Amino acid sequence: MYKKPILILFVFSCITSFCQSNYNSESYRVTLADIESTFYEKDSTASALVIYEEGNSHVDPNNYKLVTQVKHKIKILKKEGASKANITINLYKKDNTSFEQVKNILATTYNKEGNEVTKSTLDKEHIFEEKYNDNYTLVKFTLPNVKAGSVITYSYTLTSPFMFKYKGWDFQSDIPKLYSDYKASIPANWTYNIKLAGHKKLDINTSEVKKRCLEGSRGAYSDCGVSHYAMKDIPAFIEEDYMTHKSNYLARIEYELMTFKNFEGQEYNYTKSWETADREFRTDKDIGRQLSKSINLEDFFDSNFINEPDLLKKADKIYKFVQQNFTWNGNYRIFEDVSVKDLIKDKTGNVSSINILLHNLLKEAGIDVHPVLISTRDNGFPTKIFPVISDFNYLIVQVTIDSKSYLLDATDDFLSFGEVPFRCLNSYGRLMDFKNGSEWIDIKPKTPSAVYLNMDLTINNDNTITGSIKSKSTGYHALNDKKNYFTNSESYLNNLQDSFSNAEIYNFKISTEDKTSFDFSKSYDIEYLDAGTGDNIYLNPFFIKFFKENPFKLQERTYPIDFGYNDSYLFLLNLDLGDQYELVELPENTSLALPNNTGRIGFSTKLTNNILNVLFRIDFKSSEFSPEYYPYLKEFMNKVVDIQKNTLILLKKK
């Protein structure tokens, strides 16, 4: 590493205050404005900014290897952004003769110290290799002398023999970008499905044909399709609540190899049809073989159960039997180590083993049942265009009884019949029907989840507030309550007590005895020790709040909002003002709806015989919202929080 002053010439000079954000986003060349700029006006929170980046992929005509040249120019705006100087390049290795390589790594840090611009270059001795596993090696380096204000550049060339892994390009990352450019040259021998992921549109999207870009023996040759893609002013991707995996939404180009034709005219298909995938899945040595195994119901159930004519009761009992007698070991591994025999023996197994046992028992009981392949929320959406079996990482089952379908997963002791874990709510899955062919199905709860809260309270002459609270949660809200209570009831009660400041709860009861019930109901008495003193009291009637803060804080969100399920909240309060106080003024009623009636807030109060009645309802009638809804949802949740925090009632003594 060394430092030396460098001179950068400009046709004209400028006053620093007018050049604070005059970045050179048109080329890889570092300018004085790049170095002197101190902020990014479109995102004041950004710790770093990609000023310019480019990638260029083509097939080497000499060895038919895929070559990708990469360049990045990044401004470090804050000290937290210095982590962008830590670079990792992933290299794939199939075996000792087929592996990716990286070469020509060049990296430089530019700083302005006084009136001088200095540059610090990366020494080759500071480039390290690390074996990650049998298939991947990591090449790592850190640019030198990086601090807030630095501009860093780095470039390298990646060589790969794997044309099935044509280099994709990420236009979006966790920091904003001014300009991101990618060019891809693909010989006609290879045909790819090209996918633009995310919700950003390309600013440049052109293609042309380059003649005779690749040549083979005996005069054979191929033309190339040369594509140019670019995006400008790309916002940072910032993760927020209520989203599935970020890979679903990051703006990027992806390539899936469909066919290859060599110069001798032989064609190879890499894209399977679902008919082919169904056949391979059915005959798979792990999952397919386990699904086809017969099982003896008499080994698990008595004759009374076996002869039960009600198929729904039968299915429910089989489901609960697997739930209660077999434990999920926490592994997905849906295509590996699948053994119903070992599960029965050891009483523990992975997702596939447990749900295939459930499948086989239901099938043996004469119930219409099929396996369903899904990808969990943290694994990204599976490709719909053609089968990519590796996209799936989870298996559940669907049963159909009297024309009604139920999705089942026996890995969780607390799920009710027809529920699947929240991790499975990832829009859709592939139902594997080996007779009629597989098909896509929705993975969405049919019944909304809800929270109901009913409070009957009285202000006493000693300024205490006493009364009773009844609460009921259903669906996924109930699932959390059930897990917390039935796992450790003492801890659950302590946490409930801690959630109330200046109050004591007693006579706590639950009316839900079965941990697989769809709902969870509890009741308790409460005493607020002191409502206030003096002639007047300002009182917030929301002794319990559904939302303490707005989960939506971004200025702009470019990806969908996904709650996973429809839900609603209902708050009812009857507050007897007692003999000493009377209400000065009723709070203002409020009503607000989301576009297309996809959500609604209702808040109202009334006073009858010195008893204040408060009703507050929140309904989400959709579980998924496109990014266009974000400003409306943000306003919606602001109103929810505001009603709960700032609704005050003024009481005065009679």
For residues 489 and 635, membership in a common domain is answered with yes
For residues 477 and 340, membership in a common domain is answered with no
What pLDDT does residue 294 have?
Answer: 84
What pLDDT does residue 461 have?
Answer: 85
Residue where a domain stops, chosen among 419, 443, 467: 443
What pLDDT does residue 531 have?
Answer: 61
The CA-based dihedral angle spanning residues 508, 513, 514, 518, taken in that order and rounded to the nearest 10 degrees: -50
Which residues are CB-contacts of 223 (< 8 A; sequence separation ≥ 6)?
Answer: 187, 188, 209, 210, 211, 212, 213
For residues 256 and 330, membership in a common domain is answered with no
* Single-letter residue type at 357: L
pLDDT band at residue 534 using 50, 70 and 90 as cut-offs: low
- Look up the CATH number of the domain holding residue 609: 2.60.120.1130
Please give the backbone phi and psi of residue 135, each rounded to the nearest 5 degrees, phi first: -110, -10
For residues 545 and 640, membership in a common domain is answered with yes
For residues 410 and 507, membership in a common domain is answered with no
Q: How far apart are CA 48 and CA 65, in angstroms?
A: 34
Q: How far apart are CA 617 and CA 631, in angstroms?
A: 21
Q: Reduced to 3 states, what is the DSSP secondary structure of residue 311?
A: helix
For residues 402 and 455, membership in a common domain is answered with no
Residue where a domain stops, chosen among 268, 284, 305: 268
Residue where a domain stops, chosen among 241, 268, 295: 268
Mean pLDDT of 117-139: 95
Provide the domain limits for residue 235: 3-268
Q: Reduced to 3 states, what is the DSSP secondary structure of residue 452?
A: strand
| Residue 638 CB-density burial (10 A; 0-12 exposed, 13-18 middle, 19+ buried) | middle
| Residue 36 CB-density burial (10 A; 0-12 exposed, 13-18 middle, 19+ buried) | middle
Mean pLDDT of 98-110: 97
For residues 477 and 567, membership in a common domain is answered with yes
Q: How far apart are CA 618 and CA 266, in angstroms?
A: 62
The whole-chain average pLDDT of the chain stands at: 92
Mean pLDDT of 545-565: 93
Q: Max alpha carbon distance in the chain (Å)?
A: 106
Residue pair 164/257 in contact (Cβ under 8 Å)? The answer is yes
Residue pair 147/35 in contact (Cβ under 8 Å)? The answer is no
Mean pLDDT of 83-112: 95
Residue pair 186/192 in contact (Cβ under 8 Å)? The answer is yes
Per-residue model confidence as pLDDT tens digits over 37-46: 999 999 999 9
Which residues are CB-contacts of 480 (< 8 A; sequence separation ≥ 6)?
Answer: 473
Per-residue model confidence as pLDDT tens digits over 237-293: 999 999 999 989 999 999 999 999 999 889 998 888 899 889 888 887 778 888 888
Lowest mean pLDDT across 21-30, 36-45, 272-281, 361-370: 272-281
Token pair 């390309």 in the structure block, residue: 202
Residue 561 has pLDDT above 90, yes or no: yes
How many CA atoms, within 13 angstroms, populate the side-chain half-sphere of residue 145? 20
Q: What is the domain count for the chain?
A: 3
Residue pair 433/549 in contact (Cβ under 8 Å)? The answer is no
For residues 155 and 80, membership in a common domain is answered with yes
pLDDT band at residue 533 using 50, 70 and 90 as cut-offs: low
The pairing of strands 599-608 and 590-593 is: antiparallel
Tokens of 203: 């600013």
Per-residue model confidence as pLDDT tens digits over 108-127: 999 999 999 999 999 999 99
For residues 193 and 320, membership in a common domain is answered with no
What pLDDT does residue 7 have?
Answer: 38
Angle in degrees, CA 265, 266, 269, rounded to 5: 130
Q: How far apart are CA 527 and CA 556, in angstroms?
A: 43
Residue 9 has pLDDT above 80, yes or no: no
End-to-end CA distance of the chain: 82
pLDDT band at residue 14 using 50, 70 and 90 as cut-offs: very low
Residue 576 has pLDDT above 80, yes or no: yes
The CA-based dihedral angle spanning residues 416, 422, 423, 427, taken in that order and rounded to the nearest 10 degrees: 110
Tokens of 597: 């009636």
| Residue 210 CB-density burial (10 A; 0-12 exposed, 13-18 middle, 19+ buried) | middle
For residues 241 and 322, membership in a common domain is answered with no
* pLDDT above 90: percentage of residues in the chain: 77
Q: Reduced to 3 states, what is the DSSP secondary structure of residue 640?
A: helix
| Residue 281 CB-density burial (10 A; 0-12 exposed, 13-18 middle, 19+ buried) | buried
pLDDT band at residue 8 using 50, 70 and 90 as cut-offs: very low
For residues 513 and 638, membership in a common domain is answered with yes
pTM of this structure: 0.85
Q: How far apart are CA 7 and CA 445, in angstroms?
A: 64
Where are the extended beta strands (E) located within 432-566? 439-443, 449-459, 465-474, 503-510, 519-528, 536-539, 561-562
Mean pLDDT of 175-199: 94
What pLDDT does residue 311 have?
Answer: 95
Residue pair 253/196 in contact (Cβ under 8 Å)? The answer is yes
pLDDT band at residue 13 using 50, 70 and 90 as cut-offs: very low
Q: Reduced to 3 states, what is the DSSP secondary structure of residue 346?
A: helix
For residues 336 and 193, membership in a common domain is answered with no
Q: Reduced to 3 states, what is the DSSP secondary structure of residue 408?
A: strand
- Look up the CATH number of the domain holding residue 148: 2.60.40.3140
Q: How far apart are CA 45 and CA 214, in angstroms?
A: 47
